[in-house]
A = this chain, B = another copy of it.
Amino acid sequence: MKQKAVFYHAGCPVCVAAEQQLATALDPVRYAVEIVHLGEQKSRVAEAEAAGVTSVPALVLDGAPFHINFGAPLTALK
């Protein structure tokens, strides 16, 4: 079974670069990557926060948050 990877972003330039290069670089055999635009899906900000995400872009891999560079703080998306 594939492990879940969630990439949270907000459409910012830093986010898009990370999405196009890093999120797509994950092994498709092992990971099912879901891309979530928090600016458009504000209802999922709480979920990202619960996973430990404090800024975007961020990748939650097996439940662990990895902040990739820095686009915007999560607080700006609430």
> Using a CB–CB distance below 8 Å, which chain A residues touch chain B?
5, 17-18, 21-22, 25-31, 59, 61-62, 64-70
Min CB–CB distance A22 → chain B (angstroms): 5
Using Cβ atoms and an 8 Å threshold, which residues of chain B touch A65?
Answer: 69
Q: Are B26 and A62 in contact (CB under 8 A)?
A: no
The residues of B that contact A61 with a CB separation of less than 8 Å are: 21-22, 25
Asked whether, in the complex, the Cβ of B17 is within 8 Å of the Cβ of A64, the reply is yes
List chain B residues, Cβ under 8 A from A29.
27
Residue of B with least CB distance to A62: B21
Question: Is there contact, CB below 8 Å, between B67 and A22?
Answer: no
Q: Which residue of B lies closest to A17 (CB)?
A: B64
